[in-house]
Structure formats: C-alpha cells, structure tokens
Amino acid sequence: MQVGFHKISELPIKSIHPNSKMLKMKTMPLMISLTLPLLCLPSFLSADDYTLSKYSCFNSETYANGSDFATNVNELLASLSSTLVPPTGFGEGSVGQDENLVFGFGLCRGDIVSTSDCNTCLDMAITEIRTSCPNKRGAIYWTDLCLIKYSDVYFFEEIDDTNIYNVINGTLVPYPKTFDTQVNEFLSLLSTQFAPANPIYYASGQININTSTTLYGFVQCTGDLSPTNCTSCLDFIRSKFLEDRLGTRGARIGCGSCVLRYELYHIIFGARAIHNMVSNNNGLSYVTK
C-alpha cells in the first residue's frame, strides 16, 4: 500500500478568543494538490450541490432579538463565514462572556478549493439556520458542501453523536451482499487510514467494483477532533446506518462531528480528490494519483 500526500501550506486564519471579543491569529494546514493548478479550476457550485438540507434545533431555549446573546450569535456566524472558515475549510470560535457566551464552528467539504465557494455555502447555511431554528440557543445546519453549528454550551473536541441525518438512495443494486461488503471495506479504509492522517481530516476515492461500475465516496471530520476521535466518529455513523441498508446504491450520512457519502456516480471535485482506490483479487489497495 502506497500513501502519499501533496504539499502542505500553513495559512493564517483568525480565531475568536473563548472569553472575549478579541481576535487572535492561528494557523491551520491547507492541503493543496499539485496535480491540478488551483487557478485553472472552474467554480463547480450549482443548484444540485445544495440538495441536502438538514438541521437540528438541539437547544429549545430561545434568546430575544436585540439581546447581548443575539448580538454575539450574529457576530460569530458572520466571522465564521467571512474569515474563520475560509480558506482552510474549518474554523471555530466564541464570542461573549458568562451567560452570553456562544461557541460555534463551520466546515466546508474537503474538495472545495475555492474560498468564495466555501463562503457562499456558509452564507446560505447561516440564512437557513436562522429560518429553520429562529432564536434558538443551539442549532446545526448541514448542506452537501458545508455545515455550521453554534451553541451556548462548549462542544469543541467532543464527538457529537446526537445530531444526526441519514439520506439513503433507495434504489437497490442486483448484488446487495457483495456490494455492501465492498462499500463497508471502502469507507472503512478511508475512515481509518486516510482521513485521520490528512491535516484537513478529509479523504475521497473510488473503486472499480466490476468492469462497468465505479463506486465513489468521501469521508470528513470537523477540525476540532483528535485523529482518534475522527476515526471513532466515522466508524459510529458508518456502523449505525450502513449495516442494514441492503444494497442501496448511495447514502449521505452525518452527525455534528463527521460526514460520509458514497454513490455510483461521480461526486468528488477537482484538485483535492487525490485518493484513487483500485480493487484487485485481494481486496482494496491504495495508489496516489
């Protein structure tokens, strides 16, 4: 098995200090593939990329418009979209003090190579979370390309296994048992070996499951988790939903700390789709592009 990573850049991003409204600088790694020039990539976002729309208003308590807490929520969400998450794809922060303290993070999918595309997705998610969970003191919103979460309770570095979505492609394959085994092995390999070793906790790939069919997939964790917790989170959502799906052709599954998807059509974009999985008589192997 060959494993290779491309150039890692250290880029500064802003982070909000947990106990005040002061801003500080920190660095997070950005993975850039050298196989495709970044400036040559077209913007890939379209209406079809936003078909997933899931949310959880996990804190039923509300805050008043015009309150200090409302001001802090607005400031945090705006900072996540504009400066904290782009360009690295993940950012976290907090604003306020005492009972008005709010925590939040945002995540863009690992194959989004455009800062503007990441920002566009987060802006849309923020608009939707305000509509879906108005004035709630804790909420999360997922799209196919990003997620955003805030709460009045500290939640960083912990696996969120309570806020969950599960979207299954109900069309069945003609060889369900074999297919299920291939999907499970494929996602397990991405989850245990490649995503935790990647500085942005993202891995994608494909396998040829027969001469005419290719399986595509990706997994990703939020950047606040440890590598061990990233693997544990992905194992949790994979085992919780995929064990009894009986040969469904695709699925999008996620929680508040990690997401995965697989389909029998191409779902991986551009320069960060660097993991090319190929099958052989002994199972799955990994080669770099």
pLDDT digits (tens, 9 = 90+) for 15-39: 333 333 333 223 232 222 222 222 2
pLDDT at 242: 78
* Domain match, 78 and 191 both: no
What average pLDDT does range 42-54 have in this prediction? 58
Task: DSSP for 43-78, please give it.
Answer: P---GGGG--EEEEEEEEEE--TTSHHHHHHHHHHH
* Domain match, 84 and 195 both: no
**Is the residue at 38 inside a domain?**
yes
pLDDT at 254: 96
Please, how many CA atoms are within 13 Å of residue 170, restricted to the half-sphere of its CB? 0
* Domain match, 183 and 255 both: yes
pLDDT at 270: 58
Supply the CATH number for residue 267's domain: 3.30.430.20
pLDDT tops 80 at residue 284: no
pLDDT at 87: 79
Query: For residue range 112-157, what is the model confidence (pLDDT) as tens digits?
Result: 878 999 999 999 999 999 999 999 999 999 999 999 999 999 999 9
pLDDT tops 60 at residue 278: no
Q: pTM for the whole thing?
A: 0.79
**Is the residue at 156 inside a domain?**
no
Domain holding 176, by residue range, is 164-288
* Domain match, 178 and 63 both: no
Which residues make Cβ contacts (< 8 Å) with residue 213, sequence separation at least 6?
Answer: 264
* Domain match, 189 and 94 both: no
**Nearest-angstrom CA–CA distance, 198 and 8:** 10
267 alpha carbon, distance to own chain's centre: 14
pLDDT at 93: 97
* Domain match, 206 and 115 both: no
* Domain match, 144 and 170 both: no
* Domain match, 144 and 174 both: no
Provide, rounded to the nearest whole percent, the portion of the chain with pLDDT above 70: 75
Indicate the range of 32-46, 77-91, 213-227, 273-287 predicted with least confidence. 32-46
286 and 274 Cβ atoms separated by less than 8 Å? no
95, 130, 151 - which closes a domain: 151
pLDDT at 170: 83
What average pLDDT does range 221-237 have in this prediction? 96
pLDDT at 33: 24
**Is the residue at 205 inside a domain?**
yes
**Is the residue at 128 inside a domain?**
yes
Provide, rounded to the nearest whole percent, the portion of the chain with pLDDT above 90: 61
pLDDT at 269: 75
127, 151, 175 - which closes a domain: 151
More confident residue, 271 or 226: 226
> Domain tally for the chain?
2
Query: For residue range 171-213, what is the model confidence (pLDDT) as tens digits?
Result: 899 989 899 999 999 999 999 988 988 889 999 999 998 889 9
**Is the residue at 224 inside a domain?**
yes
**Is the residue at 125 inside a domain?**
yes
Closest CA to 169 of 252, 239, 240: 252
What average pLDDT does range 219-243 have in this prediction? 93
* Domain match, 203 and 128 both: no
